[in-house]
Amino acid sequence: MDLRKRRHTRSSSDGLEEPLLAPSQSEVAEEALPTSDDDSKNSERAIVPHSINKYDWEELWRSLVAGCVQSCANAWNAVVSCLSGVFPLKVSPAPVELTFEQAEQLASLQSRIAVQYEPTDEQHQNLLRQLWSHAFPGEPSQLQSEKWKDMGWQGINPATDFRGGGLISLQNLLFMANQKPELFAVLLHKTKGKRAQDTPLEDGGRGGEYPFAAAGVNFSHMLIEMLALRDPSKVPASPAGQGFLELLKLDPAAFDELYCLGYERFDELWLQTGVESGGKWGYFDFNSIKSKLQQELTKQLSIRPRTIAELRKLMDFSF
> Tens digit of pLDDT for each residue in 28-75?
444 444 444 454 444 444 444 444 455 566 666 666 655 665 565 556
Among the listed residues 217, 222, 261, 224, the one whose alpha carbon sits nearest the alpha carbon of residue 109: 224
Among the listed residues 143, 113, 119, the one whose alpha carbon sits nearest the alpha carbon of residue 223: 113
Helix, strand, or coil (residue 200): coil
Angstrom CA distances, 108 to 74, 178, 230, 278, stand at: 56, 20, 12, 45
Angstrom CA distances, 92 to 89, 143, 248, stand at: 10, 49, 20
The set of residues, in sequence order, having a beta carbon less than 8 Å from that of 199 and lying 6+ positions away, is 205, 206, 208, 282
Among the listed residues 239, 251, 266, 225, the one whose alpha carbon sits nearest the alpha carbon of residue 309: 251
Task: Report the half-sphere exposure of 140 (CA within 13 A, side-chain side).
Answer: 1
CA distance 239 to 94: 10
Stated pTM of the model: 0.71
The pLDDT value given to residue 45: 46
Longest CA–CA separation in the chain, Å = 140
Low-confidence stretches of the chain (pLDDT < 50) are: 1-37, 39-52, 77, 80-81, 84-85, 87-91
Exposure of 282 by Cβ count < 10 A (0-12 exposed, 13-18 middle, 19+ buried)? buried
Task: Report the half-sphere exposure of 16 (CA within 13 A, side-chain side).
Answer: 8
Check residue 209 and report its DSSP letter: S
- Over pLDDT 90: what percentage of the chain? 61
The pLDDT value given to residue 203: 67
Check residue 45 and report its DSSP letter: H
Among the listed residues 105, 85, 139, the one whose alpha carbon sits nearest the alpha carbon of residue 232: 105
CA distance 73 to 67: 10
CA distance 38 to 40: 5
The pLDDT value given to residue 198: 77
Instruction: Say if CB 194 and CB 272 are below 8 A apart.
Output: no
pLDDT in tens, 279-314: 889 999 999 999 999 999 999 999 999 999 999 999
